[in-house]
Structure formats: C-alpha cells, structure tokens
Amino acid sequence: MVLLAFMALGTTGCVTRKYTIDSQPQGALVYRDGKPIGTTPVDDYFVFYGKYRFTLVKDGYETLHVEQKIPAPWYEYLPLDFVSENLVPWEIKDVHRFSYALQPQQMPNNNDILQKAGDLRNRGKALVPLRPKEAPSVPAASPGAIQPVAPGTTAPLPLTTALAPQPVP
C-alpha cells in the first residue's frame, strides 16, 4: 500500500515555465541571449527565473534590445518549491507574456549626412597629411665613414683615431 502511494506521488507535481513574446508590429525575429527562437508571437520554455536578454529585429524598424526579468511566483521559494515541483497532484502552468512596441527606423536627413561627412573630412585634414613627406636627403659620406657593402661581400672597417692603439706615456 505504501509503495502504491509513493508511485502515485512520483507521477504528480510538475511546473511548466513558459513565456510568450509579442511585438507591434508582429513578425519580428526574436533572439534570447543571442540565439534565435522564432518570430513574434513566439513561445519558449525556461528553467530558471531571473533576467533574460531578448533582441527583436524587423526590417524597417529599430532593433530593440531588452533585459527582461521573469520573477519567481510565491510557490517557487524555499521550502514551497519542493512541494509545488514534486508533490502537488496536478500540473502548474507558469506563463509570462511580454509585448514590445517596435519603433520605425528613422531615415537620416541628407543634410545631416553631408554635415557629418564634412566634419570628418575637416577633422582628418588636421590629423593625417594628405601626401607623404619626402624622405630627407642623405649627406655625402665623409672620409673614413662606413660605406654600404654589396650583399654577399665583406669589406674591412676603417680604423679611426679613437680605435687605433695609443702610445703609453
């Protein structure tokens, strides 16, 4: 009899956690923590309560980045969570619904674009020269200076007075 009671309790208790994301207008692609989950309206399951990062993308609309908190219900706090997860003889459905309004993408004004381009051009003139500077001229080698040597050949280094042996007084 006790075994039968434990088997009956083993098949009870379950919490289904789910959220639904909708947007105005619908049809936006939704990413959860960088991974695509579908287009709005979209349902997905979750395991843990807390913050999730959603990104909604739709052509012609500004991309929307949202950090959404999914709060835990009262029956998911210690010690009640054990009872709700394992001992309640029916399924508990925890469904959260979120709706976001997408803003139409703003087309930039042509005058603003030209103004920004002019500002960047003027700023670039002050920072980067338009033509590379000419290489400085190399003065003619003085007598006794080291002369370049063709590759694969060797030439003796000239002795200067500083390197020549000096008589000891």
Beta bridge partners of 56: 30, 64
124 residue type, one letter: G
pTM for the whole thing? Answer: 0.53
Return the ∠ at Cα 165 (arms to 164 and 168), rounded to 5°.
Answer: 145
- Dump pLDDT digits (tens) for 132-163: 666 556 566 566 556 666 666 665 555 555 55
Asked if residue 114 belongs to a domain, the reply is no
Dump strand ranges (E) for 13-169: 14-24, 29-32, 35-39, 42-45, 50-57, 64-70, 91-101
* Count of all residues that appear for the chain in the document: 169
Asked if residue 115 belongs to a domain, the reply is no
Asked if residue 118 belongs to a domain, the reply is no
Residues 6 or more apart in contact with residue 3 via CB below 8 angstroms: none
- Dump pLDDT digits (tens) for 79-92: 766 666 677 687 77
Asked if residue 39 belongs to a domain, the reply is yes
- 37: containing domain: 15-101
From CA 76, how far away is CA 71, in angstroms rounded? 10
